[in-house]
Amino acid sequence: MATIREERAFWAHQLHAHLLNTIGAAIAQSQVCEAAVREALPTSIEELVRLREILRTLEDATRTMAASAALPRHLLGEVRARVEAFASAHPALDVRLRTRGRGRVGRRATAAAVIVLREALENAVRHGRPGTIEVDLALEHGSVLLRVRDDGRGFDPAALDLAPEGRPRLGVAIMRQWAASLGGQVALSSVPGRGTQLTLHLPLQRESSARRAQGPLRIGTTGPTSN
């Protein structure tokens, strides 16, 4: 019974954190949309599209968490399905998947890896405009190692944590919150004009012991946000 309660508490906390992050971002983006419409700015449609993307992020993450909490998942199968669906949706891109190692991966780590993968792929297309995206998944030394590399425009790492308006970037916050909840880390490296690499490291031995509540990562509700 204790294990069941702990599992329920974990998934409830993760959903709660996602709701706080994404609803805050959606409220802020709605303010941007309102200002753009009032001033009849040419960017009005773009801002509305961005709001829709934020809400879709919440919908997709909620579906992933619900599925992961309901039944055991196979990490390799989940990652492969995500990469294949992404490649089908972006036929002009060269999308590659490499895997190595084997082992049992729990539902929490599977959900974390899938959500981080989704954010990394979407950010690569939205911001990097790459021609090639490579996804490497390794199960080795008691950990999950996920790398997503692209050959896109890259960015200045100094501008990583904050959007141009000074607010935390929603996508980065979501990825780091998931990794931290399982004792893992997310690292991003990039050079302007030379692409970007995201690395997720999850120590699997921590999943069974990561039962304590994690404080939700809050994002304020004033001012615009960026992914």
Residue with tokens 């931290």, as numbered in its chain: 180
Q: Check which CATH number belongs to the domain holding 127 and give it.
A: 3.30.565.10
Instruction: Measure the CA–CA gap between 109 and 216, rounded to whole angstroms.
Output: 18
Sort 221 into a burial class: Cβ within 10 Å, 0-12 / 13-18 / 19+. Answer: middle
User: What is the count of structural domains for the chain?
Assistant: 1
Q: 31 lies in a domain?
A: yes
Q: pLDDT tens across 96-148, in order? A: 999 998 877 888 888 889 889 988 998 898 888 899 999 999 998 889 999 99
Mean pLDDT by runs of 10 across the 227 residues of the chain is: 61 64 69 71 69 70 60 76 93 95 83 89 87 94 93 80 50 82 91 92 67 37 39
- Determine the pLDDT at residue 187: 92
Does 80 map to a domain? yes
In a domain, 70, yes or no: yes
Please indicate, yes or no, if residue 225 is contained in any of the structural domains.
no
Q: Does the residue 163 lie in any domain? A: yes
Side by side, the strands of the sheet bearing 94-100 are 94-100, 132-140, 143-150, 196-203, 185-190
